[in-house]
Amino acid sequence: MSKVATRFAPSPTGPLHIGGVRTALFNWLYSKNQNGNFFLRIEDTDKERSKEEYRKQIINSLEWIGINFDGEEYVQSKKIDDHIKVAHELLKKGNAYKCYCSSEEIEEQKKRAKQKKIPYIYDRKWREKKETDAPKDIKPVIRFKSKIDGTSILKDLVQGDVEIENNTIEDFVILRNDGTPTYNLSAAVDDHQMNMSHIIRGDDHKINTFKQIQIYQAMEWEIPSFAHIPLIHTIDGKKLSKRDKASTLDDYSKIGIMPDALRNYLLRLGWSYKDKEIFTIEESIKYFNLEGIGKSPSKLDMSRILSMNEHYIKNMNENDLFDQLIEYCNKFKKEIKTDKEDKIRKSLSFLKNKAKTLEDIFINGQYIIADEVIFNQDDIKLIDERAKKVINDFKVQFEKIDQPSREILEPVINGLIKSNNTNFKGVGQPLRIVLTGSKFGPGIYDIILSLGKKEVQKRLDTKIA
């Protein structure tokens, strides 16, 4: 058997959405699992809608989530001549013919079919007509001569055997009247030339597959294996599209979802391996297979994405988390000053406990990151005379401490609890508010130690309410 080769073939007509990312992921994983290669093919033959910025965005997205392709990026538009050559070859071999119907004529037929509520299918008018009957003023398209009799069976690696009557597949256009190839031709030729062994793509391509297989057969090419994976649906059960919000990778990265978490989520969306939920990249390559792909479409679930991200935040290496956090803040929030970096790094161990996203860490860490304490107006109201006295008492004691540590602070706090005749909350809450601006936050010792002596003193001087 020849070496496994898969590809991801997006068209750069919009931002890549996570359905596409999952398709890319499955192709990539399958090839890596089989020790094969994974290629990227940019299908940019729609000159009107293809945009360079989208091409870049697609490549960046794949890189962000950790999918790397082998070899050179394959650009479909550069291969158009090959596609046209095949069209003419099919014509010569009698597997295709020129159709002189005007687009108006076709439109008219479609409209009529719609009115009568019967399915439209091109009537194969020019299939057997003689070229000499051709009208002079019309540039023909080239149509593929599809099978009319019998049925075809697609042995799909995910869906099983799919049988279809050949006459439901029309004589599709392979070359437009401007001489350019259409999708089914280009895709078939490219996949053949790229030596694809497995075509893994969305369910929505299933009918195309029947068309493309006929091209392979006519050209006597080896037919690759196909696997049509179920689509990802939105919460209301419709195919995910680029227009849906929260559908592109950027939508997730900007709220602080990390690539590994999203990768893991996408992997488990429509694929499973026993009861295993968490997969490192290495594990996903090791365990990925086509048998594990389910047949039914699955819905996107934000709370699941969040909890996956939370899992990664809590379990990943803290240095890596720090790096990702800084990168995230610099890109989407504000640049973290170098003098704050160290404080943040030290505080990660407790800041991450309250976070589902990098954004959460950023927000929870505001009391460190921001130069000025931002006070929650409601919480300030909790600072009454008693609280002020506690704060003041603490200030006096704190000034005597050279090197704050938990061991030194603990007796101080306990002493204040006693002398003020209160409980821990009576001391902790006012201090937390004056130091961070909010009654919610990390433990009081964590706050003090993360800020450092100088900063704590500065904040204790703050006049509130």
Partner RNA sequence: GGUCCCUUCGUCUAUCGGUUAGGACACAUGGUUUUCAUCCAUGAAAGAGGGGUUCGAUUCCCCUAGGGACCGCCA
Return the residues of window 124-143 that contact RNA according to CB under 7 A: 141
Distance CA(246)–CA(243), nearest Å, equals 9
Residue number with CB closer to RNA (70 or 310): 310
What is the footprint of RNA within residues 225-244 (CB under 7 A)? 230-231, 233, 237-239
- Is residue 94 within the footprint of RNA (CB under 7 A)? no
Please tell me whether residue 81 binds RNA under the rule CB under 7 A. no
Min dist CB 408 to RNA, Å, is 14
Q: Which residues pair with 161 in a beta bridge?
A: 155
Nearby residues of 330 by Cβ (< 8 Å), 6 or more positions away: 336
Out of 56, 85, 88, 110, the only residue in the binding site for RNA (CB under 7 A) is 110
Q: Which is nearer to RNA, 219 or 417 (CB)?
A: 417
Closest CB 338 distance from RNA, rounded Å: 27
Residues of this chain, 331-370, that bind RNA according to CB under 7 A: 353-354
Q: Smallest distance, Å, CB 435 to RNA?
A: 12
Cα–Cα distance for residue pair 182/45, rounded to 1 Å: 8
- Closest to RNA by CB, 270 vs 365, is 270
Q: Across the strands, what pairs with 458?
A: none
Interface mask (CB under 7 A) for RNA, residues 39-78, using x and -?
----x-xx--x--------------------------x--
DSSP 42: E
Least Cβ distance, residue 335 to RNA (angstroms): 26
Residue 205 binds RNA (CB under 7 A): yes
Contact in structure between 344 and 368 (CB atoms under 8 Å)? yes
Region from 272-280, 281-289, 333-341, 394-402 binding RNA, contact rule CB under 7 A: 272-280
Q: Does 120 bind RNA (CB under 7 A)?
A: yes
> Does 102 contact RNA by CB under 7 A?
yes
Residue-level length of the chain: 465
- 288 and 316 in contact (C-beta within 8 Å)? no
User: Which position among 148, 207, 370, 465 is part of the footprint of RNA (CB under 7 A)?
Assistant: 207
Residue where the block lists tokens 């000053």: 337
Our finding on whether 80 is near RNA (CB under 7 A) is: no
Q: Footprint of RNA on residues 418-437 (CB under 7 A)? A: 424-425, 428-429, 432
Instruction: Indicate the SS3 state at residue 48.
Output: coil
Residue range at the interface with RNA (CB under 7 A); choices 6-14, 214-222, 250-258, 320-328: 6-14
Cβ atoms 423, 451 nearer than 8 A: no
- Tell me which stretch binds RNA (CB under 7 A): 85-93, 128-136, 273-281, 385-393: 273-281
Please check whether residue 199 is in contact with residue 225, taking contact to mean a CB–CB distance below 8 angstroms.
yes
Number of residues that bind RNA (CB under 7 A): 86
Looking only at residues 380 through 399 of this chain, which bind RNA when binding is defined by CB under 7 A? none
Minimum distance from residue 155 beta carbon to RNA (Å): 12
Q: Show contacts with RNA in window 436-455 (CB under 7 A).
A: 439-445
Phi and psi, residue 234, nearest 5°: -75, 175
- Does 164 bind RNA (CB under 7 A)? Our answer is yes
Query: Could you say which DSSP state residue 230 is in?
Result: P
**Amino acid letter, 301:** D
Strands (E), 48-92: 74-75
**The two three-digit tokens of residue 63, written as one number:** 């890189």
Euclidean distance between CA atoms 117 and 446, whole angstroms: 71
- Half-sphere exposure of 383 toward its Cβ, with a 13 Å CA cutoff? 25
Nearer Cβ to RNA (72/163) = 163
How far apart CA 94 and CA 273 sit, in angstroms, is 48
Structure token pair of residue 373:
């304490």
